[in-house]
């Protein structure tokens, strides 16, 4: 079980990781990066899927269905637009 302090350790280390990654990014990449981080939290679809698979009532099924739908939209949309943007960045030396 990821209770108490273990969870806090995970949160703390993850927060530092995010801070360190963004801190070094040149501002020309801020838009793709915002979009890329937006894609990463699309992992929420996995949690929504878990909630839906364990649903026992119609209410849970409806909410779970919506959750998976929204989460899948987040992940897929975030990926497509980020990849489209990043593919356009080219150096004049290339």
Report in angstroms how near the CB of residue 12 gets to another protein at its nearest: 8
Report in angstroms how near the CB of residue 32 gets to another protein at its nearest: 6
**What is the rounded (10 degree) CA torsion for 65, 68, 70, 75?**
-170
How many residues belong to the site for another protein (CB under 8 A)? 85
| 5 is a site residue for another protein (CB under 8 A) | no
Binders of another protein among 14-53, rule CB under 8 A?
14-19, 21-53
Rg (CA), the chain: 18
Question: Is residue 53 exposed (0-12), middle (13-18) or buried (19+ Cβ within 10 Å)?
Answer: exposed
Report in angstroms how near the CB of residue 3 gets to another protein at its nearest: 8
């Amino acid at each position: 079980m990821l209770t108490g302090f273990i969870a806090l350790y995970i949160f703390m280390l993850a927060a530092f990781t995010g801070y360190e990654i963004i801190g070094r990014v040149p501002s020309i990449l801020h838009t793709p990066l915002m979009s890329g981080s937006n894609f990463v939290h699309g992992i929420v679809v996995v949690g929504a899927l878990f909630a839906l698979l364990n649903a026992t009532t119609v209410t849970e099924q409806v909410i779970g269905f919506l959750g998976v739908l929204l989460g899948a939209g987040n992940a897929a949309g975030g990926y497509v637009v980020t990849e489209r943007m990043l593919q356009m960045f080219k150096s004049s030396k290339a």
